[in-house]
Homo-oligomer: A and B are copies of this chain.
């Protein structure tokens, strides 16, 4: 107990050999960096530098760079889930909730371009919308999104119809987000609306 507290206090001092909670610090710095730079400009050494630690210290907490990026992804998914819940909260159920979700998806991507790219490039990581035939619950609180989508088709719709609809909805917002991130389509709210607010899926 007191030893734990002592450790934390020591950890808050400067110029010590042991950092205290380097792993968290690395993730923190990584998240700060990734929000202000393209993905490929995110270097292990830079993160270590910002955490005030030698480059190779990272390897005491992550087997390689990909593992650190994986940790960033995890935090990214948590943030995305929050954004989704917020969007859900301020929309009445049904089509409106569905549209709010789509807007939240694109908005999140535009707000955190590199993080979003990283999250999507991680095939093993948790996924915002479980793909068809993926069975049960998605990541975090994302099941609510699936419910919103499925709600559009009614509970009596065949499974393959709901699954196809889910995939189409995901493809639609994901494609728009990507095109805007890559600068192929201007990131104008009106265009987001034009894609998301369509009455028919």
Q: What is A's interface to B at a CB cutoff of 8 Å? A: 40, 120-121, 123, 127, 131-132, 160, 163-164, 167-168, 170-179, 182-186, 191, 194-195, 198, 200-201
A174 touches B179 (CB 8 A): yes
Which of B163, B176, B185 has a CB less than 8 Å from the CB of A175? B176
Chain B residues near A171: list those with CB within 8 A.
171-173, 175-176, 179, 195
Residue of B nearest to A40 (CB): B40
Other CB < 8 Å A-B pairs besides A164-B198, A167-B176, 4 of them?
A160-B194, A164-B194, A175-B178, A200-B201
Chain B residues near A198: list those with CB within 8 A.
164, 168
A174 touches B178 (CB 8 A): yes
Nearest-neighbour CB distance to chain B for A17, whole angstroms, equals 35
A178 touches B178 (CB 8 A): yes
Chain B residues near A194: list those with CB within 8 A.
132, 160, 163-164, 167-168
Taking the full assembly, how many copies of this chain does it contain? Answer: 2
B195 touches A120 (CB 8 A): no
Contacts A120-B184, A184-B131; A195 near B167 (Cβ below 8 A)? yes
Residue of B nearest to A164 (CB): B194
B132 touches A182 (CB 8 A): no
B123 touches A195 (CB 8 A): no
- Give CA–CA (A168, B185) in the complex, Å: 12
Contact sample, A vs B, 9 pairs, CB 8 Å cutoff: A120-B178, A123-B182, A123-B183, A131-B185, A132-B191, A164-B198, A168-B195, A171-B173, A171-B179
Chain B residues near A176: list those with CB within 8 A.
167, 171, 175
Chain B residues near A120: list those with CB within 8 A.
178-179, 182, 184
Residue of B nearest to A132 (CB): B191
